[in-house]
Structure 1
Amino acid sequence: MAKRAKSRLEIAAEYGISARTLSRWLKNKKIQISNGLVTVKEQELIYKVFGEPDKNNQNDSKSPSELN
């Protein structure tokens, strides 16, 4: 569970994807997040939609369909 605000790059790294890919995922799911750091509440929404990132495979690329 999220405990602090994070950058988009940090969240993308948790999923093993680029920040640009994360932006595409969010756009495809029509999730809008504020500019700047991603709040704890926004992170919870991201993790709910895409699932909690696998801590063991943070460098593996995954498509959104593989996360659902």
Structure 2
Amino acid sequence: MNRSFAVELQKYVTQKVTQLRQWLRPVPTDSLPLKIFKGIYKGLALLVLTAFSPVIIAILIIAFVAAF
């Protein structure tokens, strides 16, 4: 693997994870009920994002095949 590609891939993933963390943080100016609603919504969105991750799907397929 080309070293520059690995460095750029690491930078890209780090940037996307930082953006996701920023999106998950509550907005300080929102009211408490709105913060709760947004927290539930964002939690569900993160759960779906994690559930449909290609890495998670690959691990589940390997575990399913290994169970036979």
TM-score > 0.5 by shorter chain: no
Higher RCO (Cα < 8 Å, 6 or more apart)? 1
Structure 2 length as normaliser, TM-score?
Answer: 0.29
Structure of larger gyration radius = 2
